Structure 1
Amino acid sequence: MSTTATQVRFYKSHEVDKQFLSNKTLEVFGVKPFTWQIDATVAILQGKDVILDVGTGCGKTMCFSMPLLDSPTDMCIVVSPLTSLMLDQVKSAALPSVAVCERTIKEYPGGKEKMFQDIVEGHYRQIFISPETATDIEFAKSVLYKAHFRQYIRLGVIDEAHCVSEWGGSFRGDYLDLHQFRNRLPSNVPLMVASATFPSHVLDAVRGVCALAKDAIHISVSNQRPNIALSVREMKHGTTAADIRFVIPDDAQKLEDVPITLIFTNSIVTCDHLADRLRYWAPDWMPSESIAFYHAKVGPAQKALIEERLQKGEVRILVCTDAVGMVS
């Protein structure tokens, strides 16, 4: 790790006022924190690494922000796998936040140089970056190594950290280089790794790649969701597209009757083919643009439009590869 230390204050266990932290969270975020969220925050305020093994939708993201309530100048930097996820988190953030990606840099007044300068100067409390940016030497020199940034950085976060194990290697090799990100942070800055998917072999990989401390605090909250079930449909037509025709209900009379559905495919060719077939089968009243395809060859502007229309419910069926929301 870097030998330079951040200047934020770290506390002993008895020095943290949990009631104040709870009240401040309610004041800033409008919700009362769970005990496990307070425990995660206390661990970070003590300078300890944290493993957040918490189900989707339970409130992991708020744990990235709560440690910043200790001081109006503290910052955190979050490594996120998907552009769409970063943009959503920035959009809903209660604290000043910025996502660093191709899309936001192009739109930023003054471009990349001005964005990086604003980050260093503390205009944003939360900075969301991709693994590729986290390991990029230009970003390190422009942001991570700057004295003012290092003075006020409170914590680093690896969100969806299971991707270290699942995506590292030939797909997105920068995941296996995230130790560089850890090493470029000040030596006393704790790291939080968060995921809803931490089986033992994945967690072992994350511990190694991210150089987590042996005494890292492990917080686990069940992701059991009684309203979610797993089902399997038998393929009746071999390799033809007919087996996905069911996603447009026979009795649908209006767009809202068609459930919003994402269909994942392994190839761009299959993706385009399935979208074409579904548009062919769609009833006359169903707009063709309510069925869309999304893959690596779709341009950034069109991807952004599809994501926006999907959120609005205008796209009901999205046939896609795992490029959905991927960093660009």
Structure 2
Amino acid sequence: MTKKFSKENVLNLLRQALNNTTANFHSEQWEAIEILVLKRARLLVVQRTGWGKSMVYFLATRLLREQGAGPTLLVSPLLALMRNQIEAAQRINVKAATVNSTNQKDWQIIREQLLLNNIDILLISPERLANDDFREKMLLPVADRIGLFVVDEAHCISDWGHDFRPDYRRIKRIVQALPSNIPVLATTATANNRVVADIQTQLGKNINLLRGPLARTSLQLQTIHIPTTAARMAWLAEHLPQLAGSGIIYTLTVRDSQRVAEWLQACGIDAHAYHANLKEERENLEQALLKNQLKALVATSALGMGFDKPDMGFVIHFQRPGSVVHYYQQVGRAGRALEQAYGILLSGDEDQRITDYFINTAFPPQAHINEVLTALNQAEDGLTQKRLKNILRV
């Protein structure tokens, strides 16, 4: 092992990245880095929120680049996640860039820098992998010199995952095409045994697995049933000022995020709505929360996976989330670097009705299902997807 890859030197990099001179490796963090950098192997990491999965691939990228490897390609599901990670990477002199729908004016410059080997890690969404122009102009020219391939929030790759994304399935073909000596890292905090097995199938049965406990001792959890929205809003106005620090209030709908934020502002509490319909404001709101410049963001699930605020004091759910996995993912935003933080679930009478609505609208109308089944039944030799779309005129 070279001097640069000594545990002591990597620990110094970790402390630099975290801006904490007393930080230490979490359990199995060092082992994960060894698997990727020393063994150049494939690895699935299933660890609790706040464990430091992003530090593993940033440090591995830094070390692999020092050894002459090509850039890291990171598939990441959310823009908020990408923005946080770019800032974290810069603290250890890892040059990161992202290609997404909000920075199209920068694409040409990023492509030039990538081809010149001046970018250490490129962050993209799974949907970007489906873009022919991206694959031709950016991915293919560097495909033979990728130093590390990372699949963040890897439960999205699984049919059984709570946030399955069809575009993640393309990752399987990419991984299969990579040389065996190119390390691959998949990370998640929310994968049960069935999801883990599916991820292993997608990324290769020879993939190493590091799996730790998912409990968070710093989080104090409680649930309070308050039947009406008005009573819950009154509860927030009374108790939110008593909670230390800043945090997130999750709602199931955009309308509720706006309504609750407006109510809290009327009560003199600095809270702002955050949802997918906001565009340019979202980054400013994220930064305001990170810097404790407001008390709370009243957010839909648009503020979720990967948003990293280590000193977040609380996460409150205004309604019950759609699943236990969604709850774990969201409440895990709080207390990552605090001795105590609070997760408070306010359940109401309308929770099940809203959840049922989202479940029902996730499926196509029955008439459309019948059309598809009829078309398939009438085709003796089956149909390609393109032919099926032509028949249905979709």
Q: Within 2, Cα distance between the matches of 1:251 and 1:219?
A: 38
> Could you tell me which of 198, 202, 213 is aligned with 1:222?
213
Whether 2:250 is the aligned partner of 1:264: answer: yes
Shift of 1:115: 0.9
> Could you tell me which of 198, 204, 207 is aligned with 1:213?
204
Amino acid at match of 1:305: N
Given the superposition, is the C-alpha separation of residues 23 and 259 from structure 1 closer, same or farther in structure 2, using an over 3 Å criterion?
closer
Shift of 1:258: 6.6
Given the superposition, is the C-alpha separation of residues 266 and 220 from structure 1 closer, same or farther in structure 2, using an over 3 Å criterion?
same
The 3-state SS of whatever aligns with 1:296 is coil
Contact 2:245 2:292 in 1 (8 A): no
Whether 2:294 is the aligned partner of 1:303: answer: no
After superposition, the CA RMSD in angstroms is 2.8
Given the superposition, is the C-alpha separation of residues 166 and 229 from structure 1 closer, same or farther in structure 2, using an over 3 Å criterion?
same
Amino acid at match of 2:265: R
Q: Within 2, Cα distance between the matches of 1:33 and 1:326?
A: 22
Whether 2:118 is the aligned partner of 1:89: answer: no
Contact 1:18 1:38 in 2 (8 A): no
Q: Within 1, Cα distance between the matches of 2:3 and 2:26?
A: 11
| 1:31-46 equivalent positions in 2, closer than 5 A | 33=25, 36-45=28-37, 46=39
Q: Within 1, Cα distance between the matches of 2:131 and 2:257?
A: 32
Given the superposition, is the C-alpha separation of residues 112 and 203 from structure 1 closer, same or farther in structure 2, using an over 3 Å criterion?
same
Given the superposition, is the C-alpha separation of residues 207 and 137 from structure 1 closer, same or farther in structure 2, using an over 3 Å criterion?
farther
Match of 1:243 in 2: 232
Q: Within 2, Cα distance between the matches of 1:269 and 1:199?
A: 32
Shift of 1:291: 1.7
Match of 2:264 in 1: 278
| 1:52-63 equivalent positions in 2, closer than 5 A | 52-63=45-56
Match of 1:202 in 2: 195
Match of 2:361 in 1: none
Match of 2:296 in 1: 317
Q: Within 2, Cα distance between the matches of 1:67 and 1:136?
A: 28
Whether 2:153 is the aligned partner of 1:153: answer: no
Contact 2:43 2:186 in 1 (8 A): yes
Match of 1:130 in 2: 125
Kindly provide the CA deviation profile for residues 174-195 of structure 1, in whole angstroms up to 9, marking residues without a partner as x.
2333324435645642321111
Q: Within 2, Cα distance between the matches of 1:246 and 1:322?
A: 22
Q: Within 1, Cα distance between the matches of 2:188 and 2:47?
A: 6
Given the superposition, is the C-alpha separation of residues 66 and 258 from structure 1 closer, same or farther in structure 2, using an over 3 Å criterion?
closer
Amino acid at match of 2:34: V
Q: Within 1, Cα distance between the matches of 2:182 and 2:168?
A: 20
Match of 1:26 in 2: 11
Q: Within 1, Cα distance between the matches of 2:243 and 2:205?
A: 52
The 3-state SS of whatever aligns with 1:144 is helix
TM-score, normalisation: structure 2:
0.65
The 3-state SS of whatever aligns with 1:293 is strand
**Higher normalized contact order (CA 8 Å, seq sep 6+, divided by chain length):** 1
Whether 2:299 is the aligned partner of 1:294: answer: no
Q: Give the aligned length.
A: 289
Q: Within 2, Cα distance between the matches of 1:220 and 1:137?
A: 36
TM-score, normalisation: structure 1:
0.77
Given the superposition, is the C-alpha separation of residues 235 and 32 from structure 1 closer, same or farther in structure 2, using an over 3 Å criterion?
closer
Given the superposition, is the C-alpha separation of residues 134 and 24 from structure 1 closer, same or farther in structure 2, using an over 3 Å criterion?
farther
The 3-state SS of whatever aligns with 2:220 is coil
The 3-state SS of whatever aligns with 2:28 is helix
Kindly provide the CA deviation profile for residues 23-79 of structure 1, in whole angstroms up to 9, marking residues without a partner as x.
331343436545723322232232321011122222211221333314434221111
Determine what percentage of the aligned residue pairs are the same residue: 24
> Could you tell me which of 46, 51, 71 is aligned with 2:44?
51
The 3-state SS of whatever aligns with 2:117 is coil
Q: Within 2, Cα distance between the matches of 1:205 and 1:245?
A: 44
Q: Within 2, Cα distance between the matches of 1:266 and 1:187?
A: 43
Given the superposition, is the C-alpha separation of residues 250 and 50 from structure 1 closer, same or farther in structure 2, using an over 3 Å criterion?
closer
Q: Within 2, Cα distance between the matches of 1:120 and 1:58?
A: 33
Contact 2:153 2:305 in 1 (8 A): no
